[in-house]
Amino acid sequence: MNHDIPPALQTQVFTVPLRSAPAILRQIQPVMDRLKVKDYKDSGVPAIGDGLNVIRLSHHGNAHTGRWPLDCAQCGQDIAAVLRRLGVGRSVANSPSRLSYRDVFVLTRSGDLHDDVTDEAGRVTSPASGVVQGLKAAGVPVSVLGYQDWRHNEARWEGAVQDVAVAATETVTVARYNWVPGLERRVVAVLQGRHQDDDDEGLTDEETDLGDRLSAVSRCTTQLIMVRTPPVTTTTTPSLTTTTTPTTTTTHTTT
């Protein structure tokens, strides 16, 4: 973010992608086409390969709850299943390509993200967001960076941000993506969602999607996971208007 740059400092915009594979960069390109963002330049060095296919998960089906993936424990379990398939957290001796939980971000636009909120006696007064519950239920160690954490204990919040910046703990970081600007992870799951400001400003889902690509997808260097709610289609007849959603269940296919 560049909102509070001291006037004495010089700034430089870097436009050559150094780490993200072409498959990731293509997901960010719509932002370059629509928003006032500096386009990428050719580094002059050909990519070794196209990169891994994007994994797409659908927040839809009987087991799914809530309007958005953030609120859904099943989406958390679906992400955990993908991480298992990728071998995240699995001990592989002498493997330089081993993926650790610290290599993973789960990022959302929503400001409603939070871990369990407890009282002084340790009793849970507000359960964690659904996706956090699902990840934990699947055995994934999780650290959460959300507004509630900052509001309740700012000192602890600053320590948590520092831990995320240096990947100090062997946990998956679940965060609102504007809390982790400039940080990257090898595996990033992006949760589609909105927050109250989006509604107040009248932003469309297409516009919030561009924000997701700019601020969340760009955090990924290797494997991108997109978790989205299927679009609602509306069919109008002279006497009746019906709204339907696709009948497919959650999928773990790649494209």
Task: Report which listed range, 25-34, 36-45, 182-191, is most confident.
Answer: 182-191
Check residue 165 and give its pLDDT: 85
Per-position DSSP letters for 106-172, written without gaps between them = EEES-S-----EE-TTS-EEEPPPHHHHHHHHTT--EEEE-HHHHHH-HHHHHHHHHHHHTT-SSSE
Per cent of the chain over pLDDT 70 is: 70
**Secondary structure string (H, E, C) spanning 186-249:** EEEEEECCCCHHHHHCCCCHHHHHHHHHHHCHHHEEEEEEEEECCCCEEEECCCCEEEECCCCC
β-strand pairing of 104-108 with 185-191: parallel
Q: What is the mean pLDDT of residues 108-114?
A: 86
Q: Is the dihedral of CA 156, 126, 139, 69 positive or negative?
A: negative
Contact 215, 181 (CB under 8 A): yes
The length of the chain, given as a count of residues: 255
Task: Report which listed range, 24-33, 37-46, 168-177, is most confident.
Answer: 168-177
Residue of 81 and 23 predicted with greater confidence: 81
Fold of the CATH domain 50-244? Rossmann fold (3.40.50)
d(CA 139, CA 145): 19
Check residue 126 and give its pLDDT: 84
Tokens of 215: 């601020």
Lowest average pLDDT, out of 17-21, 29-33, 85-89, 227-231, goes to 17-21
R_g of the chain, CA atoms, integer Å: 19
Q: Which residue has the tokens 């409603």?
A: 112
Residue of 156 and 110 predicted with greater confidence: 110
Check residue 252 and give its pLDDT: 46
d(CA 59, CA 247): 12
Instruction: Reply yes or no on whether the pLDDT at 19 is more than 90.
Output: no
